[in-house]
Structure 1
Amino acid sequence: MIIGLALALAALSLDMTAVPPGASAAPAGGDAPDASTAPTPGGDASDTSAAPTPGGDASGSLAAPTPGGDAQGTTAAPTGGDAQGTSAAPTPGADAPDASAAPTRGDAPAPEPGAAAPAGTSVFRGYAFDTCVAPSADTMRRWKSSKYRAIGVYYAGRGRACKNQPNLSRSWMRAVHANGWRVLPVYVGSQSPCVGAKNKKGVPIGRYPRTQGKNEGRDAVTRAKAYGIQAGSALYLDMEAYSYKKAACARTTLSFVQAWNRAVRASGYLPGFYSSADSGVRHMDMARRAGEKDLPSVMWFARWRIPPRLYGEPALGENAWRPARRIHQYAGNVKERHGGRTLVIDRNLMHAPVARFR
């Protein structure tokens, strides 16, 4: 996520005349096995500071959230499962994200994306951060002095920028969760064939997107289980910004995402989706309006340099992916210091499912 967002606008301007994608179509030649291999999760080690991901937007001057964003409140009660930690205090004058809104024009006939959340899904509402390398358990303890109470962890996938995760392990997950943190497991798999970021072009979705998506979805579940992440958890697919107006590329990407979602759901997990608001997120909402099935159940959209807010996002239908199904990444590649430890992070506001642990 810290990766490649600065290239999103350039990528989106490549093909403004192509027919906007709607329905999914099979690639030429049919589908056949095309399994991808994800890196093996790293072991436990001592504290390291996360380095910024190359290709991101170094916007360290971005300020903390301003009043007028979505309300934080207390965390939503889960329908079974693990208890939620307390979240940041409400932002004065904030919107109430659970308030119902009238459908926007063209939004009413579209179906609700995804399947219902599995029994026992845990939901967190508040501030979250993600960083390329998982910090040590000690750093996480120190960062309890911050407003954040959830962390995005790049736990698997062949497209990860930071494959070496010296702190990440099953025991790290347990320790961090026991310390009151909620975890957002992020899977960075194969990327769209028309991805904008140069450092993601080496891991493209291939000729058989459905088979590849199915295999990587199963891999996402297998890796999650290895870290002790239980069924009912949300797993988030990271798809960096791509030129969704290129029809053939959009069809391939959508087929991959749908297959990934089906595989994750079949194992009892909840598929989430991360991308740039004006790229992959807009593409998924177009697919929703077109009546496509097997779409993500949770939407994590990146739109920087604006106050944090979950609703009112122009790339999403007002009544889509709600309630408790949205995350807004509102700043990226910023340095913050808490408890004597500095990290380079992305900032997020969320009201969405998280990982469950025993």
Structure 2
Amino acid sequence: MRGRDMRRMAGLLASLTAAGTLLLGMAVSATAEPATPADYPTGSSSTRVTGLGFDTCTAPSLDALRAWRASSYRTVNIYFGGNNRGCTQPNLTSSWVRDANALGWKLLPTYFGRQPFCKFGESKPLRYTASNAASYGTSEAKDAVSKAKALGLLPGSALYADVEHYDRSDSGCRVAVRRYVSAWTKTLHASGYLAGVYVHQDSGLRDLSDSYNSTKYARPDAVWMARWDGKTSLTGWPTAPNSHWAVHQRAKQYRGDHDETWGGVRLNIDSDSLDAPVATVSRAYKVTSSTALNARTGPSSAYPAVRTHAPGSTLRVMCQGHGQKVGTSAVWDRLSNGTWVSDYYVSTPSSTGFSSALPRCAYPGQVTAGVALNARTGPGMSYSKSGPALPRGGLAYVMCQKRGETYRTTSVWNRLDDGRWVSDFYVANRSNSSWSAPIPRCP
């Protein structure tokens, strides 16, 4: 760790006080492990989902997805890449992704790449060792980003590396998995994607949890655990404490290989419970204004207009955020090219507030405080505490930033997607002293 980071950490430890503070702990450099920041581009946003999902080897047809709207599942896994991917994917195209999203399905993207050399079983012959795990984690993450973009999975999406069950009695194998996942995480973050990992409860989850606070490895943003006990709970896991991946960062495969029939269509699936980031996919809406609609660099008419959209033209909307009130709505839509338009002039389901079909625009960063970080009712420590504190490594889902009370190196405060505020000093993003693009300013 660099000298200035060590001095910062020492200063923080020396200045810890009793009640009335943020429950402050050691800060981590904006670029250091374990909480490496995602370098979000302009056209990005995170999407998360809570509820049930399923995964099946081959992406189902759109007709099957229409039929399965009769089920309680609302998320479907897609094996979108990887040299160990076993099934052909005749349906998995960019148009399928858009149409599945338009039907109301959230997508859980899984990359089935090389496996640890000590993986149980003879299948999946392409593997990595401790010596080449970081190299493969990097190259496969780059390939995952390329394939995700080709399918229309926008930056801010979470991409999950499949790490199958392995023999963790081999210490070299444990090192290999940690190196692979760390390289996977840092490479995805550099391209503006969140990093997830699918793991078995008795191998990958245990080892990644054991290294959760290690400064040698980048921490993934979310975990998807396999434990076929029929229970959907996302807490009380036996091999990872509840404080690890605690803020909308968990999924569980709770039932394995079985057939289900919905709407007259039978599929062979695994069943999942989720409260985790998934793919961000844009949705098509129309311009409803009678004159050309300005697209701006931020959610207000104070921002420059960089292009216009003709009446009746189609927009690709990826998320919604707070902005200047126009007509009956203070909601602005962020388009997939990164520009903003007033939702009042767009054919989304609501002209007065947020639309449930679209996610809130959010740019998550991991909490770097050494202990739990208090959220507050406003942008300063003089505001009262609000709701549960965010544990170290939890994702702060930042919607916008605002000047507030100065703390340490910054006066920037982050408004979370639940309306609470945290100091930007303890959120891993591009800066802990100034604004972090492309997060907009709060109105």
TM range (shorter): 0.5 to 0.7
Deviates more, 1:204-213 or 1:127-136: 204-213
Query: Per-residue CA shift, 1:167-217, capped at 9, x if unaligned?
Result: 1111000000000000000001100010003212x1101542211111111
> Is 1:170–1:226's contact at 8 Å kept on the other side of the alignment?
yes
**Aligned equivalent of 1:326:** 250
Change (3 A) 1:255 1:149: same
Change (3 A) 1:319 1:116: farther
Runs of 4+ residues deviating >6 angstroms: none
CA distance in 2, matches of 1:338, 1:166: 22
Query: Per-residue CA shift, 1:140-167, capped at 9, x if unaligned?
Result: 01100000000011010011121x1111
**Aligned equivalent of 1:205:** 128
Match of 1:121 among 21, 33, 46: 46
Matches within 5 A, 1:1-358: 114-115=35-36, 120-162=45-87, 164-200=88-124, 202-206=125-129, 207-358=131-282
Larger CA Rg, structure 1 vs 2: 2
User: In the TM superposition, what is the alpha-carbon distance from 1:318 to its structure 2 partner?
Assistant: 1.6
> Is 1:241–1:276's contact at 8 Å kept on the other side of the alignment?
yes
User: Match for 1:126: what amino acid?
Assistant: G
CA distance in 2, matches of 1:286, 1:197: 25
User: In the TM superposition, what is the alpha-carbon distance from 1:114 to its structure 2 partner?
Assistant: 4.2
User: Match for 2:83: what amino acid?
Assistant: R
> Is 2:177–2:204's contact at 8 Å kept on the other side of the alignment?
no
Change (3 A) 1:174 1:152: same
CA distance in 1, matches of 2:35, 2:281: 23
Query: Per-residue CA shift, 1:76-109, capped at 9, x if unaligned?
Result: xxxxxxxxxxxxxxxxxxxxxxxxxxxxxxxx99
> Is 2:93–2:151's contact at 8 Å kept on the other side of the alignment?
yes
CA distance in 2, matches of 1:113, 1:308: 28
Count, aligned residues:
249
CA distance in 2, matches of 1:129, 1:276: 17
CA distance in 2, matches of 1:331, 1:155: 22
> Is 1:113–1:321's contact at 8 Å kept on the other side of the alignment?
no
Deviates more, 1:253-262 or 1:337-346: 253-262
Query: Per-residue CA shift, 1:260-284, capped at 9, x if unaligned?
Result: 1111110000000101111111110
> Is 1:115–1:297's contact at 8 Å kept on the other side of the alignment?
no
Structure 2 counterpart SS, 1:253: helix
CA distance in 2, matches of 1:176, 1:115: 32
User: Match for 1:204: what amino acid?
Assistant: R
**Aligned equivalent of 2:370:** none
Change (3 A) 1:265 1:213: same
> Is 2:34–2:213's contact at 8 Å kept on the other side of the alignment?
no
User: In the TM superposition, what is the alpha-carbon distance from 1:120 to its structure 2 partner?
Assistant: 2.2
CA distance in 1, matches of 2:94, 2:211: 36
Same amino acid, percent of matched pairs: 38
Stretches of structure 1 lacking an aligned partner (at least 5 in a row) = 1-107
User: In the TM superposition, what is the alpha-carbon distance from 1:300 to its structure 2 partner?
Assistant: 0.3
Structure 2 counterpart SS, 1:274: strand
Instruction: With the length of structure 1 as denominator, give the TM-score of the two structures.
Output: 0.66
User: In the TM superposition, what is the alpha-carbon distance from 1:243 to its structure 2 partner?
Assistant: 1.3
CA distance in 2, matches of 1:114, 1:223: 25
User: In the TM superposition, what is the alpha-carbon distance from 1:245 to its structure 2 partner?
Assistant: 2.7
More strand by share: 2
CA distance in 1, matches of 2:34, 2:221: 6
Stretches of structure 2 lacking an aligned partner (at least 5 in a row) = 1-24, 283-443
Instruction: With the length of structure 2 as denominator, give the TM-score of the two structures.
Output: 0.54
Instruction: Tell me: higher relative CO, structure 1 or 2? Use CA pairs within 8 A at least 6 residues apart.
Output: 1
Query: Per-residue CA shift, 1:10-41, capped at 9, x if unaligned?
Result: xxxxxxxxxxxxxxxxxxxxxxxxxxxxxxxx
CA distance in 2, matches of 1:294, 1:337: 41
Structure 1 counterpart SS, 2:225: strand
CA distance in 1, matches of 2:133, 2:231: 36
CA distance in 2, matches of 1:304, 1:141: 27
User: In the TM superposition, what is the alpha-carbon distance from 1:241 to its structure 2 partner?
Assistant: 0.4
Query: Per-residue CA shift, 1:92-147, capped at 9, x if unaligned?
Result: xxxxxxxxxxxxxxxx99x9964467672111100010000001011001100000
> Is 1:113–1:320's contact at 8 Å kept on the other side of the alignment?
no
> Is 2:58–2:79's contact at 8 Å kept on the other side of the alignment?
yes
